[in-house]
Structure 1
Amino acid sequence: MDFIESIPPLVINIVKVAYVFAMLAIVFVVMLENRSPLKAIPWMLVLLFIPVLGVIFFVFFGQNLRKEKIIRRKGLKNHDLISEIAHSQSHKISEGSMDDIPSMENNKKLMQMLLNNSSSILTIGNQVDVLNNGRATFDAILEALRGAEHSIHLQYYIFDEDEIGNQVLDILKEKAQKGVEVRMIVDDVGSWELKRSFFRYLQSYGIEIYSFLTVRFPSLTSKVNYRNHRKIVVVDGEIGFLGGLNVADRYIKGNPAYGIWRDMHLRITGDAVNALQSVFFIDWYFVSQNDIADPKYFPHKKPAGDKLVQIVTSGPDSDWPGIMMGYYQAISNAKKYIYITTPYFMPGESVLMALKASAMGGVDVRILIPEKSDAYFTALCTKSYIKEMLLSGVKFYFYKPGFLHSKMMVADDEVCTIGTTNMDFRSFEQNYEVNAFIYDEEMSREVKGYFMDDLNESYLINLDEWKKRPRWQKAKESFARLFSPLL
C-alpha cells in the first residue's frame, strides 16, 4: 500500500489513460475484423469483468490471424501441386458422374459441397475398417508400421513417451536404420511435454521430426490458438489411419481419474489414402519448408473395396469451415435418424439450429457425451446446451464407464463420418482437423451398431430431472457458455 501511495498521481493517471486506450484499441480491432457477435461479445465481457487480465488474454488468445502471417507460410502453390498429384493418381468420381450413384441420392449435395469447399475428391474402391477401441487401433497401427518398406508418415496432436509411445518409437527407429523414410509431426501444445532432447534423439536415428507451430514467448501471441489436432498415419502410401486417438497409454489402460478412455479410429486402404497422404505433405511443407511433392508417394492402386470416401480437412488456412459445413449438410439431409458421439458439445448456431430443426421435424436425433470430462469449464459449457436441445426433441445421453473421446456421426444408414473433429468452436473454426466422410450402407450400419453399444452403457437425460438441478449449477453453466467461442 505504501508503494502505491508513493506513486505520483500523474503517473497513475497516465497508466489509467494508457489502459483505456489499450482497451479501446482492442475493441476497435475486434469490430474492424467483422467478427460474429457471438465471438466479439465474449471478448467485450472479458475486458469488462476482468480488465487487466482481459487485455493479457486477448493479446495471447484473442487475435484473429486467420489467413494472415501464420497462414501465408503454408505455401498455396505447394498445396495446389500436392493436391494435383494426389488427384491424378486416384480413381475418383467427378462432378458430372455423381449422378451415376442412385443409392446416394440423398447425399449428392453433401458430396458436391465438400468437393467445392474443401477440394475433397470422392474416391472409390476403398476398404475401410473401423477400429473400435484403443487396443484394436494400436494393434493395427503397429502391424502396419512393422510392414513398412519405403515410407512412414505420422502426425499427432499428442504423442506421449509411455509404453505404447515407446513401442511406436522402437519400430520407427528400426525402420529408419533400414532405410525407410520416417517423417513425423507433433503439435507443440498437445505434445508440450516432449523435450528438445526427444527431437534430437529421434533425429540421430535418421527420423525427420518437427513441432507444429512452436509456441515460445513472444510468438505465443500468434500461435496458441491454431493447433494441429490431426491424427494421421500413412505407410508406404498404401495404408492410412485417422481418427480420435492420440499416442498415449490411456486409450488402452484407461485413466485413474476417468476410467475407460473410449475412442474410435479408421484403417483405410485404397485411393482415399492418397488424399490422406496429401494432407500430411501439405502440413509437412508448412513445418519443414521442404517440398517433397513426388508421385512416388502416391502409388496407383487396385480397388481395395467398394467404399466411397471423401477425406475432408479444415483449419485456419481454409477458405471455408469445410467439416462444420459437412456436419450441417448431413444433419439437414437426414430423414430418419442422426446419431452423434462427441466429447464436447459447443457447436455454434448453425449446427445447433440444424439439430433442433431436424428433431422438431421428426428425425431421431441422439447425442452421446461423456458423464465425466477432462475439461471442467468446457463441461459446464456443454451442459448449458442440454435443456434447449431436450426441449426441441433431441435425446441426450451421458456415457458412464469413462471418458468418451470419440468423434463420430452417422445418419440414415447412408453416411457416417469419423475423424478428429469435436463439435465445438475450436475444432470447427480454429484447429487443423481431418475427417473421413464415408458413403456406404454396410459401414453406416456398423458404426450405428457401435453407437448403440455405447448407448447401452449410458443413460438418457430426463428433461424434468434436468430442470430440477440447483440454480447455482445452472448459473455456472450459463456463465461458462458466454465464453464458448473462446474455449
Structure 2
Amino acid sequence: MQLNLIWDVTTIAATVLMTLFGIVTAGHALITKRDPKGAFGWIIVCLIFPFIGPFIYYIFGINRVQRRAEKLYYRIPLSVYRKRQGKPGKLAFKTALADLPGKFIPQAQISDRIARYPVCSGNRVVLLNNGEEAYPAMLDAIDQASVSVYLTTYIFDVDQTGIRFMDALERAHRRGIMVRVLVDGLGEINLGPLASRNIRKRGLTVARFIPPRLIPPTFYLNLRNHRKILVVDGKTAFTGGMNIGDRHLVGKDAIPGRQTTDIHFMIQGPISRQIERVFMEDWLFTTTETLPLFPDLWEDTGTSFCRVISDGPDEQMGKLYMILSGVIASAQRNIRIMTPYFLPPRGILTALQTAIVRGIHLEIILPEKNDVPFVHWATRNMLWELLEHNADIYYQPAPFAHTKLI
C-alpha cells in the first residue's frame, strides 16, 4: 500500500513537472521564433509530447549560433579601418549613393539601410569559370602572399586539388605568413580522410565550424557555414560557389560522374577588406581568437561598385530575404535566376509572381539532375506557381550546375 502511494505521488509529480517543462519550452518557442509557422510547430510538439518534445526542441530548435555570435561580434576591433561617419559600425569608404549609376540607386538604398557594410567603388571583379580557372588563380595568390592568408570552405576534399592547396598553404606558413583555415565541421565529413586533420599535421592553424558531437549534443543540419572565401593580404579576395576539390574540375582532369560546374570571383580593391571582416567574424565565433588587422594594402584597381551582405542564423533579421524582395520589386525589364536549389520562401515566390504580372520577364535555370533528389522533387512541385504566370524555366543538362546567380 505504501509503495503504491509513493509510486502514485512520484508519477503525478513527474507528470506535472514535465507538463510545466513543456509549457515553458512552448513559451520559449513562441517568444524567440521569428517564423510563425515554425513557432506553432514547436509549440504543438512541446505540448502534445511533453516528455520528449522539450528534449527534441532543446537539441534542434534553439539557435545557439545567434546568441553566441551576438556575444562575440563586438569583440572585433574596428578602429584600424573604421571612422564613425553616419551610422556606427559602417566602414568608411568614399562611395556615396549619388556616385552610383541611377538604375542601381533603388537597390542600393534598400541594402544601405540593412547591410552593415557600405557600397565601395574602385574594385576589380574577375569571373572565373570552374576549377580550371579558379584554382590556379587562388593558388598563385597564396604563393604571392606577404602578410596573411585566410581560407574558409564548406567542403575541403583530400584529393589532388585539396593536396595542392595544402601544399600552398604550408609554403606560405613556412615563409612566415599568418595562415588560418576554417572548414565546416559537417561539410568536411565524407568517405575519405578529414581535411582538418591533414592540415593540422602540416603545422597549420585550422578550425572546424560547429563539429558534430554527442556530448554535449551538437548536430545542427541547418546551422552550417557554407561560405567559400579566400582573402590574401586583405587586398585580393576570392568568393563564389566553389569548394576545394577535384569535383569542380570539368576538363581532362575531371572525375567521371562527379563533375560540378560553378563560378568563382576574384575581387581586388577595398571590398576585399569587407570580405576579410566576414572571415574574421566566423573565425572569432569558432575559436574566440581575434585576428589582427594589418595595414591597408589595397588600392583602387577597377571601376566596380561592390558591397558585402552577410547573412545567416547569427543575424537578427533575414537581410538577404529583405534585399532580394526589394531587388525583385525594383526590377524594370527582366529577372534571371540560376540556382541548383530553388525553394524560395513564400514571400520571395509572391514577389516573383507580382513581378511577372507587372510585365517583368522571369527566367530561371535549374540543373536537369540534382545532387539532392528531394530538393528536385520539392522544386518541381512548386514551379507551376510561376509557370502559370508565363515564367520561362529551363533545365541545364549534366554536368551538375552548382552556380547561384540572380
TM-score range, shorter chain: 0.7 to 0.9
CA contact (8 A) 1:117 1:319 kept: no
Identity among equivalent pairs (%): 27
Q: What is the match of residue 71 of structure 1?
A: 69
Give the whole-Å Cα distance in 2 for the aligned partners of 1:244 and 1:303. Answer: 25
**Quick one: structure 1 residues 371 and 152, their matched pair in 2 at CA, closer, same or farther if it must change by over 3 Å?**
same
CA contact (8 A) 1:184 1:210 kept: yes
Unmatched runs of 5 consecutive residues or more in structure 1: 1-7, 410-487
Q: What is the match of residue 370 of structure 1?
A: 367
Counterpart of 2:99, as a letter, is D
Alpha-carbon offset, residue 25 of structure 1: 5.0
Q: What is the match of residue 35 of structure 1?
A: 34
**Quick one: structure 1 residues 14 and 394, their matched pair in 2 at CA, closer, same or farther if it must change by over 3 Å?**
farther
Partner-residue secondary structure (3-state), 2:308: strand
Give the whole-Å Cα distance in 2 for the aligned partners of 1:159 and 1:85. Answer: 37
Q: What is the match of residue 416 of structure 1?
A: none
CA contact (8 A) 2:334 2:362 kept: yes
The farther-off stretch of 339-348 and 214-223 is 214-223
**Quick one: structure 1 residues 240 and 313, their matched pair in 2 at CA, closer, same or farther if it must change by over 3 Å?**
same
**Quick one: structure 1 residues 385 and 200, their matched pair in 2 at CA, closer, same or farther if it must change by over 3 Å?**
closer
Alpha-carbon offset, residue 393 of structure 1: 2.7
CA deviation string 1:44-71 (max 9, x = no partner): 6777999998766534322244632x22
CA contact (8 A) 2:188 2:194 kept: no
Give the whole-Å Cα distance in 1 for the aligned partners of 2:339 and 2:144. Answer: 33
The farther-off stretch of 190-199 and 338-347 is 190-199
Give the whole-Å Cα distance in 2 for the aligned partners of 1:61 and 1:91. Answer: 40
CA deviation string 1:210-247 (max 9, x = no partner): 11223312344485532111110011222110001111
CA deviation string 1:1-41 (max 9, x = no partner): xxxxxxx9999999888876665554433223253233234
Alpha-carbon offset, residue 269 of structure 1: 0.8
Q: What is the match of residue 262 of structure 1?
A: 261
**Quick one: structure 1 residues 186 and 392, their matched pair in 2 at CA, closer, same or farther if it must change by over 3 Å?**
same
**Quick one: structure 1 residues 267 and 25, their matched pair in 2 at CA, closer, same or farther if it must change by over 3 Å?**
same
1:140 to 137, 140, 143: 137
2:387 to 383, 390, 396: 390
Map 1:207-356 onto structure 2 (within 5 A). 207-221=204-218, 223-253=220-250, 260-296=259-295, 298-299=296-297, 301-356=298-353
**Quick one: structure 1 residues 290 and 10, their matched pair in 2 at CA, closer, same or farther if it must change by over 3 Å?**
closer
CA contact (8 A) 1:82 1:281 kept: no
Partner-residue secondary structure (3-state), 1:346: coil
**Quick one: structure 1 residues 159 and 45, their matched pair in 2 at CA, closer, same or farther if it must change by over 3 Å?**
farther
Give the whole-Å Cα distance in 2 for the aligned partners of 1:48 and 1:382. Answer: 32
**Quick one: structure 1 residues 277 and 400, their matched pair in 2 at CA, closer, same or farther if it must change by over 3 Å?**
same
CA contact (8 A) 1:59 1:221 kept: no
Counterpart of 1:132, as a letter, is N
Partner-residue secondary structure (3-state), 1:124: strand
CA contact (8 A) 1:215 1:224 kept: no
Counterpart of 1:234, as a letter, is V
CA contact (8 A) 1:176 1:182 kept: yes
CA contact (8 A) 2:188 2:195 kept: no
Map 1:406-417 onto structure 2 (within 5 A). 406-409=403-406
Counterpart of 1:143, as a letter, is D
CA deviation string 1:402-453 (max 9, x = no partner): 32211111xxxxxxxxxxxxxxxxxxxxxxxxxxxxxxxxxxxxxxxxxxxx
Q: What is the match of residue 360 of structure 1?
A: 357
Please report the TM-score for the alignment, with normalisation by the length of structure 1: 0.71
CA contact (8 A) 1:131 1:265 kept: yes
Counterpart of 2:270, as a letter, is D
Is structure 2 residue 396 aligned with structure 1 residue 403?
no
Counterpart of 2:188, as a letter, is S
Alpha-carbon offset, residue 283 of structure 1: 1.8
Give the whole-Å Cα distance in 2 for the aligned partners of 1:48 and 1:393. Answer: 44
Q: What is the match of residue 181 of structure 2?
A: 184
Give the whole-Å Cα distance in 2 for the aligned partners of 1:196 and 1:132. Answer: 28
Give the whole-Å Cα distance in 2 for the aligned partners of 1:16 and 1:28. Answer: 18
CA contact (8 A) 1:82 1:293 kept: no
**Quick one: structure 1 residues 30 and 379, their matched pair in 2 at CA, closer, same or farther if it must change by over 3 Å?**
farther
Counterpart of 2:122, as a letter, is G
Alpha-carbon offset, residue 348 of structure 1: 1.1
Give the whole-Å Cα distance in 1 for the aligned partners of 2:388 and 2:240. Answer: 32
**Quick one: structure 1 residues 229 and 37, their matched pair in 2 at CA, closer, same or farther if it must change by over 3 Å?**
same
Give the whole-Å Cα distance in 2 for the aligned partners of 1:397 and 1:47. Answer: 43
The farther-off stretch of 80-89 and 170-179 is 80-89
Q: What is the match of residue 60 of structure 2?
A: 61
Alpha-carbon offset, residue 291 of structure 1: 2.3
CA contact (8 A) 1:125 1:307 kept: yes
Unmatched runs of 5 consecutive residues or more in structure 2: 1-6
Alpha-carbon offset, residue 365 of structure 1: 0.7
Please report the TM-score for the alignment, with normalisation by the length of structure 2: 0.84
Alpha-carbon offset, residue 169 of structure 1: 0.4
Give the whole-Å Cα distance in 1 for the aligned partners of 2:150 and 2:80. Answer: 15
Give the whole-Å Cα distance in 1 for the aligned partners of 2:318 and 2:223. Answer: 14
The farther-off stretch of 192-201 and 119-128 is 192-201
Alpha-carbon offset, residue 377 of structure 1: 2.6
